[in-house]
A and B are shown apart, each in its own frame.
Chain A
Amino acid sequence: MDIIKEHKLSIDTPLKLKSGKTLNSYDLVYETYGQLNDNKDNAVLICHALSGNHHVAGYHEGDNKPGWWDNMIGSGKPINTNKLFVVCVNNIGGCHGSTGPASINTETGSNYGFDFPVVTVHDWVNSQKVLMDNLGINKWQFVVGGSLGGMQAFQWALDYPDYIDNAIIIAAAPKLTAQNIAFNEVARQAIMNDPDWCGGNYLKEDKMPKRGLALARMLGHITYLSDKSMADKFGRDLKQEKIGFNFNVEFQIESYLRYQGEKFVNSFDANTYLLMTKALDYYDPVSDSEFIDKISSTMTKFLLISFTSDWRFPPSRSEEIVKTLISHNKSVSYACVKSDGGHDAFLMKNDNYFDVMRTYIENN
């Protein structure tokens, strides 16, 4: 079993953000798997979603849990590292090593905190292009992502069509609906109404808005699962034998959600969570005045995958992207995979899903 080490790239060239602000310097933390070939054309970029990071596969020294998409990426897996060179980077604004709200702003000498600029999918793609150039990669054979990661894959095909052969967009949407934004807003309010959030500058106050962030995660987690998967896993099972007519944790699902919330706050930054939800809310490439030009000129091939029980980004949302691509005569294939896994199905092993991925990747 290979032990994976992360790498850090420090960039001094300013990154102009969509908001109009600029990051003068920033770090990108990333991991790679497999070997880049001599032609430098077997590279795959994995784009992570809201709570993901650059540790996508393999094990870190001393860890007993692999990266978050280890079932998909590795030797002999659908994204086969025997043939492909896989790269995954922690996006800026993140909290796993790349520059984000918890990082020290070299210009002020203290944490960015709530002063960290709002970043967008567009900005992430630009920063990923900087990493690509630094790694000497000429072209991504595949850019792959689920959910918010799928939006980045789509954006790559629009912004850098000459640098990407295939975009694999999984469980994504072309933009958020009012309901999607509403869920994000409740998550943000949970964080920002926690007194320990301290106007976003909790690190300076030596505090953590743990209750708010845990609530945001619990809410998010409900929307990532399906009714059926929750029913199958927890039903109405109780922790004790009988109901207690009180407000303690009684049902297994309550216990599970609290556990998920508590686990999350120990590995995630609240301001990063706020930024990620904003990036989701703002994403709307079709409204870009240059969209028609961009989509018309890209030669990228697309694979879209959705899951039947996903109600956060249901199949109809992927189908909107498919329809747009077809109307511009793009090369696109689409699979709607039967699964009870909800939105999180994109992270789970599923024979049809993995076979579609494997078949497409082997043929492209």
Chain B
Amino acid sequence: MARKDFKVISEWVKKDSRILDLGCGDGTLLKLLSEERNGSGYGVDTSIDKIMKSLDNNINVINANMNNKLDYFSDDSFDYVILAQSLQVVNDPVDLIKEMLRIGNEVIISFPNMGYWKSRFYLFLKGRMPVTSELPYSWHSTPNIHLCTIKDFKQMCHTNNFTIVDEVISSGKGSTVSSSLSNLLGESAIFKVR
């Protein structure tokens, strides 16, 4: 079954688009966008294991570190630049989003919401850094160095003049959350930014 954020992204992406998927993992998203939207483009991943899995999914994949190798891609050369569930692992999220906006017409970012009530309760009740099914790592071994809440993300966009044009917040059960309590009830968030 496709991931919830993949489903939303596939709905957002227009037909025949040029797509760059940063932190593409095994290439599932690009494969999905190729099949459902006739999209084409490249995945980028730093792990050689992920490169092999992406090749097995028959997508174009570039073995590079998105923190420093985006000079592969020229200005405005893609319709969408996607960062799915990887914002929290990048060195400098603001710099990366600026790079993504340089390269793409629109930027799509999905991330786990640390404002989700379960995460808050974990820290509040247990007094320990949250370990959840979406974020299964201990604090000392996590690759997730830039976790944020939905409010944090919106604040960062505002400060840097990134325009949010669409958003979908999902609860733990996968249903869409649209209330003013999204930062509390949303487990994961997807934003489209210009």
Residues of chain A at the chain B interface (Cβ within 8 Å): 319, 322-323, 326-327, 329, 331-338, 352, 355-356, 359-360, 363-364
Contact = CB atoms under 8 A, between A and B. Distances in A.
A222 to B, nearest CB: 28
A326 B42 contact: yes
Contacts of A363: 55-56, 58
A331 B55 contact: no
Interface in B133-158: none
Contacts of B64: 319, 334, 336
Interface residues of B, number: 20
A333 B62 CA distance: 5
Interface string B118-140: 00000000000000000000000
A359 B52 contact: yes
Contacts of A359: 52, 55-56
A52 B36 CA distance: 46
B55 A337 contact: no
B63 interface: yes
Interface of B: 18, 42, 48, 51-52, 54-56, 58, 60-64, 69, 71-74, 77
27 contacts: A319-B64, A319-B69, A319-B72, A326-B42, A326-B62, A326-B73, A327-B74, A327-B77, A329-B18, A331-B60, A332-B60, A333-B51, A333-B55, A333-B61, A334-B61, A334-B62, A335-B52, A335-B63, A336-B63, A337-B48, A338-B48, A352-B52, A359-B55, A360-B55, A363-B55, A363-B58, A364-B58
A355 B53 CA distance: 10
Nearest to B71: A323
A331 B54 CA distance: 14
A355 B60 contact: no
A56 to B, nearest CB: 23
- Count chain B CB atoms within 10 A of each CB in A332, A334, A352, A364 and give the residue with the most: A334
Contacts of A323: 71-72
Nearest to A364: B58
A203 to B, nearest CB: 47
B74 A352 contact: no
Nearest to B43: A333
A298 to B, nearest CB: 15
Nearest to A360: B55
A323 B71 CA distance: 8
A331 B56 CA distance: 15
A40 to B, nearest CB: 24
Nearest to B58: A363
Nearest to A301: B60
Nearest to A323: B72
Given A356-B51, A363-B55, 6 more contacts: A323-B71, A327-B77, A329-B18, A334-B64, A337-B48, A338-B48
A356 B61 contact: no
A356 B52 contact: yes
Given A323-B72, A326-B73, A335 B60 contact: no
Given A323-B72, A326-B72, A333 B56 contact: no
A332 B60 CA distance: 6
Contacts of B72: 319, 322-323, 326
